[in-house]
Amino acid sequence: MPKQLYLCIQRSDPQAMSGGEEPSPAQMEVMFAKFNAWKEQFKEEIVDMGGRLGAGAVVTSDSTIDGPFAECKEIVGGYMIVETETLEQALEVARQSPGVFPGASVEVREISKT
């Protein structure tokens, strides 16, 4: 089956969320983990350079960025684009992403190729 692009839009304003189940500490830690994995590279850079790093840390691509949540590298400002064979699979990817937590909803739309 050919792969198809899907757009996943997260709907998560605080009012909409407050009706759902309160996010658990464990879920929140998972969400924070992705950021911390990304942050690692800057820490190493500072150590390597003996603390002489100036403003605007410029860092080369580093394998530490590719943490367990690679698919989420595409998330920008509440949406992501995933490439899967079926809508079901796209929904599954969206569900697994750390940005999605109880109470938030995700709208998944097929992106037409024409």
Which residues in this chain contact other proteins in the complex, by CB under 8 A?
10, 12-14, 17-18, 22-23, 25, 27-29, 31-32, 34-39, 42-43, 46, 51, 53-61, 72-73, 75-78, 98-99, 101, 103-104
CA–CA separation, 70 vs 68, rounded Å? Answer: 6
Whichever of 17 and 91 has its CB closer to other proteins, that residue is: 17
Q: Is 106 helix (H, G, I), strand (E, B) or coil?
A: strand
Q: How far is the CB of 5 from other proteins (least distance, A)?
A: 19
Please give the angle made by the CA atoms of 56, 60 and 65, to the nearest 5 degrees. Answer: 100
| C-alpha closest to that of 102 among 37, 31, 36 | 31
Closest distance of CB 79 from other proteins, Å = 9
